[in-house]
Chains A and B, each alone.
Chain A
Amino acid sequence: GQNIDQPTEMTATEGAIVQINCTYQTSGFNGLFWYQQHAGEAPTFLSYNVLDGLEEKGRFSSFLSRSKGYSYLLLKELQMKDSASYLCAVRDRRSGYALNFGKGTSLLVTP
């Protein structure tokens, strides 16, 4: 099984930077994914890490340390529309490459 932990809720100010952490435990690690999900909608892909280090995509960056079982999603220049749930998901080659999701972090961006 996998234990994927991330904070339940976070609040940040428009224009600021926020870091959402995720820790995991798995034996068949095959990548860590971050998804954004607005209420009532399907998740949308944000970023992916399979090797250690930082991946940057515009305002979003994601970091991975496999030895520590740790990842974070960094959101810069926060906008009101970034208020959403952010899901950390680990892919496990032992389970047919299915994604196992954390419980999600609900981010509220305030003016």
Chain B
Amino acid sequence: GAVVSQHPSRVICKSGTSVKIECRSLDFQATTMFWYRQFPKKSLMLMATSNEGSKATYEQGVEKDKFLINHASLTLSTLTVTSAHPEDSSFYICSATGPETGTAIGQPQHFGDGTRLSIL
């Protein structure tokens, strides 16, 4: 149980392109989804927290106009990297949690497989 699917797994595109990444919870209702970013040999950095039906909360230093997050349903959140540039190349990972996964009692977040974004 508690499977999170992330798509696409890899994107290579030209500078200036906007890229949308999807994160789906397949067998539970994800009231909260988190988006992380990871540079090579670095740890995961939280970008934003997304609650279903409300605006995402962005971490300090993350441009909300650059990284658009939508969490319109209990099973889907999307991250759109707008007008991507080479410095946006990174590994983006989503995770999801919800009542069924037992946030209050400490069950782990469930991670998608990640999206490797390469901007040429």
Contacts and interface: CB of A to CB of B under 8 A. Distances in A.
Interface string B33-71: 010100001111110010100000100000000000000
Contact of B57 (A91, A96, A102, A104): A96
B116 interface: yes
A30 B57 CA distance: 19
A87 interface: yes
A102 B43 contact: yes
Interface stretch (A10-18, A43-51, A65-73, A74-82): A43-51
Interface string A13-40: 0000000000000000011010000001
Contacts of B51: 96
A101 interface: yes
Interface in A80-111: 87, 91, 95-104, 106
A96 B43 contact: no
Contacts, number: 55
A22 to B, nearest CB: 12
B42 A48 contact: no
Nearest to A32: B106
A13 B103 CA distance: 37
Contacts of B46: 95, 98-101
Interface of A: 30-31, 33, 40-45, 48, 50, 87, 91, 95-104, 106
- 4 closest Cβ pairs, A-B complex: A45-B108, A96-B49, A103-B43, A42-B114
11 contacts: A30-B106, A40-B116, A44-B111, A48-B108, A87-B44, A97-B103, A98-B34, A99-B109, A101-B45, A102-B43, A103-B42
